[in-house]
Amino acid sequence: MSKVERGNPNRAWLFPGQGSQVAGMGVDLLARFADVRRLCDSVLDFDIAEACTGENGHLNRTDQLQPTLYTVNYLHALALRETEGWPAVMAGHSLGEISALAVSGFLDFEQGLRLVAARGRLMHAVRDGGMAAAVRIERPALLAVLEASGLTTVDIANWNSGTETVLSGPVADLALLKDAVRAAGGILIPLKVGAAFHSRYMAGAADSLGAVLAGIVFKPGRVPVLSNVTALEYTPQDAARLLARQVREPVRWSDCMQALRRRGVTEIDEVGPGGVLRKLWAANPSDNGARSNGSPIVVAAAPTRETFCAAYRVRHAYVAGSMYRAISSVELVERMAKSGYLAFFGTGGISRTEIDSAVARLARTCAGLPYGLNILSQPERSAAEQWVVDAALRANVTVLEASAYTTLSAPLVQYRYSGSRLTAGTPYVPNRIIAKVSRGEVARKFLLPPSKEIIDDLRAKGLLTVEEARVAELAPVASDICVESDSGGHTDRGAALVLIPSILSLRTRIGSSFPASRQVRIGAAGGLGTPSAIAAVLTLGAEFVLTGSINQCTPEAGTSDSVKDLLATLGVHDMALAPAADLFEVDGQVQVVRKGTLFAARANRLQRVYREHGRWEEVDLPTRSSIERRILKDSYDSVLEKVRSRYVLQNRADRLRVLEQDPRQQLAAVFTTYLVHTTVAAIEGDAGLAADFQIHCGPALGAFNEWVQGSALEDWRNRHVDTIADALLAAVRSDSRNGETTGNARSELDRVPDPIG
């Protein structure tokens, strides 16, 4: 077999996009491939040969430059294929991606030409905004500059390399960043473009292009092509959707280059004019298995805090965990992401509409930044889990925080392995799961692959492909496990000193027979409110930390100011255990605030009545009267009727049937209504129900309040979620350097820069 037929299994073709020097390129190729030129002349409303010369201003117009560059790229590939054969894989930067798809055969040349012509017209019509390249500045430093600027109008357009990032936004706002970028050691270079490409400002063009793409039938390509949006291979099924998204989302070029290197690519050809992509290839050396947010990877190095940071492209191995009913709000997640931290949006207990709205916003505001969603175990409502999974997959959310799981669910497994593949026998899994656990038997399930029954069921339903199912047999369910000690909300009140070493030992034992589990990082949560606590769990071997309760008392938290005012006064002993609404019938408990509220006492009273009686009529009259007047604030029968009505509206015929047949189920349904309403009352700050506020919280917040006494952070209005993270970690680092044990709050904050500035 000749070299041309065989191709090169270690070579990739890279197709340049707008910004490449086209003038003077392609004239000879048009003469050589006359049929292509004739086709261009019949489709386009300008002379492409004249455009290639750079004369008469054709290349100054986006609507004419794009079809010209697409054609020149395509012709370069035809010529290269004659001498070199096919590459192993292709990638294109922005417009170049459509050239790659046409060369590979996902669509034919004429379809691609008409598509690019439409794309060029739509993008040319957008007149506002500009772009600028930030060079010689590393990504975390640039993100810090953007955050400090206070500008919310600037988007990331291209992640080109670790030290080159292109920004899009209003021209005047981009200019405001010039001095700040220079002060951080970089240079901001305005680009000669007509609009803010690959940003929110192209949303209208993306929607219109989607209508054009709907008329194209994509076919399987001969050579894989990586997507700018996901850094994964295109499929005919997702091509139209991804090409529309590409117009308004960042070009994740550095992710694509790392994906190529992990596939074994060692040589590249820049298939088109210029040499920009060759330089970017050199600027993106192998990351040794680390990945940025959204790219597939199986980490080869031993798990450490450094691999956590590399995996999620964060500044520190510090995570803001989710909180129920969006208390870990969109604003909280955005603030952390823009500061270079990972945070999770709390999906539990909110409607599907609210979830979809939050996911859509985060996809816009945090594109290219670290963020994720929480998924809460709901064994009796798998549809709720499925909704979160579907929303995450649609928006290309690449990490979920899994909470309260004791057994694995099909939606969770589907999410983990969707989009995974085998390359040279090695599994690559694009989606990550950080599983919060407090028991070894649960950690074991996440350290291993899912059961064959779950895999086969998903395969039979068409929710996993054959290749994805194969990967599911080879890779553990979790990418990271967070060991949850004494915490707010659902808690086993475990001790970190016991749990963390135990789970680390379990990973070692399982890893002796299933090596892939060795790569699962083990983190710590619960009780982390001071530098001392964080330093302690890191000493125990935790490879990342996850905070919760302390983030509830921040301006970004999605709860009421009255709750925050109370939280800021708590000490370490101001908590109590109360029944959990979702585990009421099995005596499940949550840790809540005791100070300033009667919720814990009243909820525990309902739990005792439920344990001791089989029906409401068995309860003595004085107790019934007291419960109705002081706790339910309504008659038992009225609350029961409201429960029935809710089940009817929800089409829950199964629950309605059980309710009518079992008086004890009626007791549980009525009593848990109180548990649900008290959470909502606290979040909304209902002053009339202040005595009943249910506020999930652990002792970490009491410790934090003591630590910040006398500092700017004593006032919760100054406790921005990223400010808390910076202050805690600065104190940990300071003590580590000084060889000291973390002391009192005032001395700690005196030793670090004022986090409020």
| CA atoms within 13 Å, Cβ hemisphere of 303 | 23
CA distance 403 to 393: 18
**206-228 residues labelled b (16+ CB within 10 A) or e (exposed):** bebbeebbeebebeebebbbbbb
Pairing relationship of beta strands 155-161 and 130-135 according to DSSP bridges = unpaired
Q: The tokens of 78 are what?
A: 């035809």
Q: Are 149 and 181 in contact (CB under 8 A)?
A: no
Closest CA to 71 of 55, 47, 90: 47
| φ/ψ (deg, to 5) at 138 | -70, 155
- How far apart are alpha carbons 633 and 626 in whole angstroms? 9
Catalytic residue among 20, 94, 227, 409: 94
688 CB neighbour count, 10 Å cutoff: 8
Could you give phi then psi for residue 269, rounded to 5 degrees?
-115, 130
Q: Which two tokens stand for residue 357?
A: 């709205």
- Helix (H), strand (E) at residue 13: strand 8-15
Beta-sheet strand order (sheet of 155-161): 155-161, 164-169, 130-135, 187-190
- 93, 198, 316, 720: the active-site residue: 198
The answer to whether the beta carbons of residues 154 and 167 sit under 8 Å apart is yes
Question: Does residue 198 have an active-site annotation?
Answer: yes
What phi and psi values does residue 388 have, to the nearest 5 degrees?
A: -65, -45
- Contact between 267 and 8 under an 8 Å Cβ cutoff? The reply is yes
Side-chain-facing half-sphere of 452: CA atoms under 13 Å: 0
Sign of the CA dihedral with 300 first, then 305, 309, and 312 last:
positive
Q: Edge to edge, what strands does the sheet with 589-593 contain?
A: 489-490, 589-593, 575-579
73 touches 274 (CB < 8 A): no
Amino acid 615 reads R
**Cα gap 717→705, rounded to integer Å:** 13
Question: By the 8 A CB rule, do 440 and 506 touch?
Answer: yes
424 strand-pairing partners? none
Q: How far is the C-alpha of 529 from the C-alpha of 548, rounded, in Å?
A: 9
Residue 71: CB atoms within 10 Å: 29
Distance CA 132, CA 164 (A): 10
What angle do the packed helices 663-684 and 599-612 form, to 10 degrees? 170
Q: Which residues contact 114 (CB under 8 A, 6 or more apart)?
A: 43
User: Active-site residues: which are they?
Assistant: 94, 198
